[in-house]
Structure 1
């Protein structure tokens, strides 16, 4: 009798697995081009070569899968890899799946995710920042913004009648070694130290067909042995973002404010203000423009350095999958500032800088 019941249970389970609706999708973006910028050195040298970190968007490929469990519940996974097409190396600290590596369950009440995942700072910027993580973008002032992700994290994201509520908590935000801005070697999860390398983020947003607003809060803690300056668990790096957008016919206008407080041995505060617009001239021809103002203050509250970045971009779709584009940026640096116009670029202190890129992007 027991064998008959066991066979029946196994058959029912196998039947359920066989008929459950599931899918796995392979996708990606390859985006690169030729970049130029002047004043790359103290004596005014220029750079001409392949864009190293990003083009219009960072190159990536990934696997995404879902399975319908019934009753409104689904399970899902995401494995997403970031790489440099110029030499094939991995981005995000050399991780195999540095953009995302997680599994979760979703329902009408939202989704819960476990693993390496996007922080709420990333979600807050998605709609308001019309330029995105491009070669000339907000990221030249704060390299954390395009790398706002956490290892060893549990996350929640729910959408209800236009409102989005989300949060993440990481037990050890960065398990990769110090290999670029996407890794700071702060693995955390240290017995006896509940603060080391912890991170928590939160989001509240509202979106409609004509406008949207968002606010996020993001705190990273340091840990012993991590890349300075966050090399103590008492040190914190906090990002606050408030932004929004308005859709006016064929034009989208985005704007926002980002404050970063670095509470280490010497306190540092920076503010980024941005405003931009995207205009769809035709379904295939897109124009973007954005202005960014950067202010850096030390512990005395005085302005230590300021920069202003102006960005213009034109993109043309050759097909649904293939795009050509050109991006132009100009950086005005104060006497104490040395912010490069291009992600991954260099500039002499106090020098203004012109950057140009022409690129090709293909999606699959």
Structure 2
């Protein structure tokens, strides 16, 4: 039985439909993903001005260290007749190892929206994924088999579903002979300043035969608040750094790849992806350009007094093999180049990953992911770049290896 192991909202789950009334239904569903993670070097703090680190074993939910964030949710559908319908989704994320809420403590932090289906497409409103996730993420390793550890360093372009967009309206067209399109808009809600804190994105996709292609654009104004600060635990954008922190003598740093750019006035992503299937194999390419614009003009902290634009170019190439109906494997290479920020920040990140997934049943599988990353240059904190595998504590050195063994169950 061929199938794709998709992370986030695209992951197929076994659901139970409960009839509510004629032509209406409520579907309950969920995923639990728990595993043991090994990290070769994780920061423990500083000593004599230098970063210190040590190897680490930990139990982690799939939302930070694996393929699928644990969740439960419900989908509501009602047929309104004439090709129209009403829909709603509430999806809660939680941490299986502790039982606490995910997404910074939001009750329905993964998704929460209501909308209408029409003969032309679907319109929804609420907390939702942007167009990069909808149209380009399917061609990223995070959606195929690699999960968060194998995704692009720092989840720089949000293809790992790290962030959602609050207060958003969204449209996704129906499929027109393999072609589809869509967009999302979140008004800033600031009186007298229409563009402040607004987020918008656009995407297009085409799929026919073995070839599939997607492209998307995302723009977030005042991103420290509007995009990176949308969870309950994010704090106030003007006084906190929602993208990362410098840490302390006793605490690890957070997201050194782009955490120093919290002062950006605009966050912009241009992303493209494509895949081609042949037999039991498929290859995929993914490219994106990410820019943190006007570093001197945003609301967030600017401790390093940056100006100009911090830029990132990322290329990902992956291979996937459905070896048997129950066994899937893959390999990926990713390269990230950063530049900009007063012309004194430039870093390079090379990352390779391998993974395998084995189905024990239609609902339960075992999987393993291994990732190695090496960094060079100067990162967004103005320090010698350290490796920082997505979802793991950054390294105290320029290299890091992470391994995950996990059990996942869908219901």
Contact kept? 1:155, 1:169, Cα under 8 Å: yes
Structure ID, larger Rg? 1
Contact kept? 1:170, 1:199, Cα under 8 Å: yes
Secondary structure of the residue that 1:121 maps to in structure 2? helix
- Mapped to 1, the partners of 2:392 and 2:101 lie a distance apart of 15
Residue 51 of structure 1 corresponds to which residue in structure 2? 60
Instruction: Provide the TM-score with structure 2 as the length reference.
Output: 0.75
- Mapped to 1, the partners of 2:342 and 2:191 lie a distance apart of 37
Secondary structure of the residue that 1:141 maps to in structure 2? helix
Which runs of no fewer than 5 residues in structure 1 stay unpaired?
A: 1-17, 172-187
Q: 1:325 to 1:93 in 2, by over 3 A?
A: same
Secondary structure of the residue that 1:332 maps to in structure 2? strand
Q: 1:43 to 1:191 in 2, by over 3 A?
A: closer
- Structure 1 position 236, deviation (Å): 0.5
Q: 1:257 to 1:149 in 2, by over 3 A?
A: same
Q: 1:302 to 1:248 in 2, by over 3 A?
A: farther
Deviations 1:131-164 (A, max 9, x none): 3371312253335332342111110001222111
Q: Give yes or no for the alignment of 1:101 onto 2:131.
A: no
Instruction: Provide the TM-score with structure 1 as the length reference.
Output: 0.85
Q: 1:304 to 1:109 in 2, by over 3 A?
A: same
- Structure 1 position 81, deviation (Å): 1.2
- Mapped to 2, the partners of 1:103 and 1:314 lie a distance apart of 36
Contact kept? 1:295, 1:305, Cα under 8 Å: yes
Deviations 1:52-92 (A, max 9, x none): 52422211111001111110001100101111111112222
- Aligned pair partner of 2:373 in 331, 336, 342: 331
Secondary structure of the residue that 1:334 maps to in structure 2? strand
Q: 1:33 to 1:108 in 2, by over 3 A?
A: same
Residue 186 of structure 2 corresponds to which residue in structure 1? 170
Count of aligned pairs = 330
Contact kept? 1:20, 1:69, Cα under 8 Å: no
Q: Output the aligned Cα RMSD.
A: 2.2
- Structure 1 position 125, deviation (Å): 2.7
- Mapped to 1, the partners of 2:101 and 2:151 lie a distance apart of 22
Note the 1:19-58 alignment, pairs <5 A: 20-41=22-43, 42-52=51-61, 53-58=64-69
Secondary structure of the residue that 1:260 maps to in structure 2? strand
Q: 1:244 to 1:303 in 2, by over 3 A?
A: farther
Residue 318 of structure 2 corresponds to which residue in structure 1? 276
Note the 1:292-331 alignment, pairs <5 A: 292-299=334-341, 304-331=346-373
- Mapped to 1, the partners of 2:205 and 2:282 lie a distance apart of 17
Residue 149 of structure 2 corresponds to which residue in structure 1? 136
- Mapped to 1, the partners of 2:23 and 2:317 lie a distance apart of 43
Deviations 1:201-250 (A, max 9, x none): 00011012311111100001116952547877x81000110111001111
Secondary structure of the residue that 2:372 maps to in structure 1? strand
Q: Give yes or no for the alignment of 1:288 onto 2:318.
A: no
Contact kept? 2:88, 2:113, Cα under 8 Å: yes
Secondary structure of the residue that 1:77 maps to in structure 2? strand
Contact kept? 2:37, 2:65, Cα under 8 Å: no
Contact kept? 2:203, 2:217, Cα under 8 Å: yes
